[in-house]
Amino acid sequence: MKNADGEMLHEFFKSLYGAWKAVEGVEESIHMESGLSKAQKINLAHLITSGPMTVSDLAFARGVSRQSVQVGATVMVDQGYVRMIDNPRHKKAKLLEVTDYGRELYELSEKAENEIIKKAFPDFIADDVLTATRLLTDVRETLEKWNKE
């Protein structure tokens, strides 16, 4: 089997960028249709994966401003998706923690998004999707390793 050359990989990256821009174009509407905004979905995903964290830590993990996360966190607390709990390492900086309601809503939104996406791509072959997923995972891991060097 022949290895891909630079030109072939460059075309792949251009296609990937174009596909990502198209995903970004519909991402917010898919999230909203599933019950959460894009920012709420991302915040909940980080908190579910990593556990309770401060607003500053969440902002750092997301690569966005602390202020934007603070605004979103306040709304999410008001909606009951997350709660503020004491931080054993800091008296003033509380930790955000996902509530049972927030976790349930997140899981429901995942199911709704899966259905929306399935309807949008009814003819995609499972083996092709698995192959593409493996390739993109390899690309991400290779680039992460390259960035560390």
Amino acid at 54: T
pTM over the 0.85 mark: no
Angle between helices 38-50 and 100-120 (to 10 degrees): 120
Q: Which residue stretches of the chain are H helix?
A: 6-34, 38-50, 55-62, 66-79, 100-120, 126-148
Average pLDDT of the chain, as a whole number:
92
d(CA 86, CA 93): 8
Q: Which domains does the chain have, with CATH numbers?
A: 29-121 (1.10.10.10)
CB atoms within 10 A of CB 139: 14
- Given a cut of 90, whether residue 124 has pLDDT beyond it is yes
1 pLDDT band, cuts 50/70/90, is confident
Predicted pLDDT at 38: 87
Closest CA to 53 of 91, 96, 88: 96
Predicted pLDDT at 30: 79
